[in-house]
Structure 1
Amino acid sequence: MRPKEHPELIFDVIPKLYESLTKVFVTHLGQVENQVKTLPRKFCRMYTTRPLANQLLQYLQKRKAHISEQDFHVVEEGKPFELRLSDGRRLEAMLCAGTALGCSLVLLIRKIQGGRLLYFYSAVQQDDLCQLVANPVFNSWIAQGTDLLFLNLTAVDQPFVHVDYDTLAATIDKLPRQENSVVRLKLPLFGYEPLVRRLGHTLLYGHIRLMGNYAESYALLSSDLQRFECRDYRVKVHIFDGEDFATLTSRAERFVMLRLDHLKWSPLPSRMNLIQLCSLVRPQHIHGIVPHHSVGNVPPAPEYLQRFRASYSPQQPQSPRPAAAALSRVQPDSRKTAHHVIRKKGLEFLSDDDDDTGMAASD
């Protein structure tokens, strides 16, 4: 997507056509396979961190794309860097990791002189917000909030489901298996790495094997692969990407397929994750993320997120006061009742002649 005020900045979309002034920020690779089904002849300059640059470069080179290290502007995670725009203006940006593996980032952009952020952008689940909050530079940048908060609202109306990774691992371990068979999990190549890492820290430690392309791609994010390569442990789970599954699986092998929806985890930001981000940065406005060249309007953020805006003021209809409401029920036609005012006459003083006349009459 492109922010309206700075159209030469693009977030998480690889353009089909090359533009020398375009700056592409890559914060995750969840949709990259769909974006590059048709490879560009030349890639726009891409700003990202080393782990994501390595993953994307390896994937595109396997696809025989015309790409090299020179097409990336690699920045250090959690360190500000300067952006020079085509009109001569300068901005300051920072990419920070919301997971231990560094495969899902948030993007912060502000004016060079500091102050409130112009943009805070988060497109996927930030699985470990403690990693963000532990960065003092990040805290100083969000201290004054942000003008625009861009969020992925795809799952905004879905109920929050807590994922207990130990329970999930126990469920996988108890799946019915024949002798010498394994559980097979087919995952997208990008996006689910935080879940795989967490499963490696459960009772499945040493019992998971990453296979083929998935193993090569995951290794670019972390050198801590011991939990997936223990030779003394019985292999219980094989993890493939979709392309490798057909080529690395023979009909003679016995296995149990684990459906993706049984994992109860998704790279899409959950309801709780959206609330956490909104309360963290206190935005002036919340916008849904729009894919590049998309058609149609993104619905506004729901009320439960809007209440975290710094400028939020609930518009509630004024209800009548209880006493007034009770009065209107008791006297429904009081407005139409005519009230007559009786004017008292002034005092009249009698003369002596009147008194005599009165007394004579009484006799």
Structure 2
Amino acid sequence: MTTKDWVTSQAGNTEFDSAFLTDPFELLDVPLKALQPNSTTLTIEGPPVGSISPVFNLGVHPAGSNLIFASSDSVFFYVHTDVVLQQSPSAFQSLLLGLLVHEPPKTIVKIPEPSNVLDIILRVLYGIPGGDNPPLFDTFVAAIDKMPVYGINPKDHIVPSSPSYTYLLAFASRFPLELYALAAHYEIHDLAVSTSSYLLSHSLASIDDETAQRIGPIYLKRLLCLHISRFDALKRILLDPPHPHPPTKECDFTQQKALARAWTLVSAYLACDARPDLSSSSIELAFNSLYEQTTCSLCLETLTTRLQDVTTRWACVNRTI
């Protein structure tokens, strides 16, 4: 089988820039022989022909590359085994075990993944940012789910200092449940913590069985405890009415009890109807009616002081797991 024959059989659409090392229509047949029948590894005697990754190209390694990964849609990725194994000693182990590599690269390892998925896997492994055309969230998740197949633990590479962590966290407001499930599934704790605050507005009862299973019992419990703890904290914060002031001719204890009862009614309404993401402005709005009912300046002062205390304490309640 020749290089030309193999590339023709593997040809397909790609999102990558085409970078032909040789004109495919004027290509001289280059011997291309599989190491074993139906092998995923090929040895070539000349440069491969096809689309080359714009990031993982001939110049990606200062010392040169000694191996080529070929995606299922015939995009070539130049890598170096020393760099790959330094980042993850078990990366692509089943494919690289006992493999003879050369400089310049003469060995192509076929990876049964599309180029956009393989590109993400290698970017995460190398710690390279997403570039000008970052992948879609679903594609990134699909690539991360493939990493364990090739002996790569996402937890080891998606860390707060990595480009992949920053990229994923940017999706927290749009896909909070999906991102939390991803982080929980691979025990990427920092990412799960940062994402959990975006789930305060999410009804936990709406989580389907598949997502709950992906999250797992530990992180599902942590999310549930976060919601419950905020509900409990809100009830505690709202419990006490405004502190009574010394009685005056215009406002005695009986009149002040009316304010306390009104506070209790509003607090009960908030506690029953509140969500874990209740805002301070919503709390203030709920108590506005008490200002309309109160004429005593001292009562208004104690009401304002108490309401400020409530909003301050509520803002300090933990928003993450």
When you count strand as a share of all residues, which structure comes out higher? 1
Query: So what's the TM-score if we normalise by structure 2?
Result: 0.26
Q: Which has the higher contact order (CA 8 A, sep 6+)?
A: 1
When you count helix as a share of all residues, which structure comes out higher? 2
Rg comparison, structure with higher value: 1
